[in-house]
Structure 1
Amino acid sequence: MAIEIPKDARDQAIASIQRYFEENMDERIGNIAAGGLLGFFVEEIGPVVYNQAVAEVQERLQMRVSELDIEVHEDAFTYWRKREKTGGKGR
């Protein structure tokens, strides 16, 4: 599955890469070069981050599903216990 970044986020990422180069590499990087670098990272490293996020979501969902029976459990055969507590009599 190809990872695509929305245009607004892509523009912000490119600007961030350009700023990083200026502040940490003491050189400028153009818009096209920064876009190419971003594309490389998204294609090369993006799947690792994506797969990790999916694995974490799966783990959280499995925990929620395992707790589901506790949250929605209903005891069976409680009619007589309820009547005994309220002092009700059967017919």
Structure 2
Amino acid sequence: MTIAISKDSRQQAITSIERYFREHMDEPIGNVAAGGLLGFFLEEIGPLVYNRAVADVQERLQARVMEVDVEVHEPEFVYWRKLDKKR
């Protein structure tokens, strides 16, 4: 599965990679090389991050589903109890 990003996000990511190289590496990286590096990361590491995010969402949704019975539970057979309280 290829992780796709918008054209604008791609350009921002390339700009960020170029800046990172300027500030932290001995040599700067060009626009084409930064784009290639971004493509590599999206293809090689992107699925790892994506799968972790999906697992996190599943975990959170399962926790919410487990709480549904508490949130929407209605007591049963309450008619007579309500009537007895009024008397």
- Relative to the length of structure 2, the TM-score reads 0.96
Aligned residues: 87
- In structure 2, the partner of 1:47 is 47
- The one-letter code of the counterpart of 1:80 is W
- In structure 1, the partner of 2:37 is 37
Tell me how large the CA RMSD over aligned residues is: 0.8
Structure 2, unaligned stretches of length 5 or more? none
Deviation >3 Å, runs of 4+: none
Segment of structure 1 superposing worse, 38-47 or 3-12: 3-12
- The one-letter code of the counterpart of 2:66 is S
- 1:27 deviates by 1.5
- Relative to the length of structure 1, the TM-score reads 0.92
- What are the residue-to-residue correspondences of 1:1-91 with 2, within 5 Å? 1-87=1-87
Structure 1, unaligned stretches of length 5 or more? none
- 1:71 deviates by 0.2
Percent identity of equivalent pairs: 70
User: Higher RCO, 1 or 2 (CA under 8 Å, sep at least 6)?
Assistant: 2
